[in-house]
Amino acid sequence: MQSLAMIENWPVPNAAAAVVRADGTVAGAHGPTDRPFPLASVTKPLAAYAVLVAYEEGAVELDEPAGPEGSTVRHLLAHTSGLAFDEHRVMAPPGTRRIYSNAGFEVLADHVAKATDIPFAEYLRQAVLEPLGMTATALDGSPAKDAVSTVDDLVRFAAEVQAPRLLDPRTVLAAMSVVHPGLSGVLPGYGRHKPNDWGLGFEIRDAKSPHWTGTSSSPRTVGHFGQSGTFLWIDPDASAACVTLTDRAFGPWAIEAWPPFTDAVLAELRGA
């Protein structure tokens, strides 16, 4: 795909990108797709997927208590537990505000580790990474932001989300659907949105503007971006997903570069 070559013009030391269709075929790739990059918050969808495996295995229930009083596993996955961004401090009653929370994912991982009696990083490896052949991916630190992976590995994950084998497709559909609709909140880097819709570990584009995806991205697009200059989106209307990893921190350059890149990718996919 010629559009992927746009990353050559980005002001970053290194970048790699690939597009994978819903049938699992790679539509195109560019750059060092086998190079490990820190994922930052693109770690969260991987962690969420492991939590959903724990749910389907019966180790946890989505509506069982977890986190602050009144909060559940579902609240933690959807950033509605009330926990602050990076502190184990309650800022709102559960289910009333969309407060993007690294702390919430850390509490969530601890909850799953206790329920399974397996350290969360190991559970993630056994439940998601190993079955998908993601041998270059590892979590060493916070389940909210400390995974390292390659484009090649994340293509495998993006293919899984589009055609689930590890989870029941109905579970994945629920993860890609709005949890606690109508809640406002801040999308890091892009300001307050009302609503700031989110699924179970996946951000949902809906009508958010400005946004890190493209102007032509469908409202059903889900995914995540990371402060290390990384993103993964899955657009069901395009029947495709895109993984892009860089080694420059998110900032104005990304806000400027990412949307036209996604629009070019989608235009090429639709013209193919």
Residue type, 127: A
What's the confidence (pLDDT) of residue 56? Answer: 98
Token pair 């019966």 is at which residue? 58
97/249 Cα distance (integer angstroms): 27
For each of the domains in the chain, give its residue range(s) and CATH number, in order of start. Answer: 2-271 (3.40.710.10)
The DSSP bridge partners found for residue 21 are: 240
- The stretch 69-77 carries a mean pLDDT of 98
Share of the chain above pLDDT 90, in %: 99
183/99 Cα distance (integer angstroms): 10
Take residue 116 and report the two structure tokens written for it: 């399974």
Residue type, 271: G
Residue type, 33: T
Helix axis angle, 102-116 to 43-56, nearest 10°: 30
- The stretch 16-20 carries a mean pLDDT of 98
- Spatial contact of 201 and 48, defined as CB atoms under 8 Å apart: yes
Spell out the residues 6+ positions from residue 112 whose beta carbon is closer than 8 angstroms to its own. Answer: 50, 51, 54, 59, 60, 120, 123
What's the confidence (pLDDT) of residue 272? Answer: 57
Share of the chain above pLDDT 70, in %: 100
Take residue 82 and report the two structure tokens written for it: 């009330």
- The stretch 8-24 carries a mean pLDDT of 97
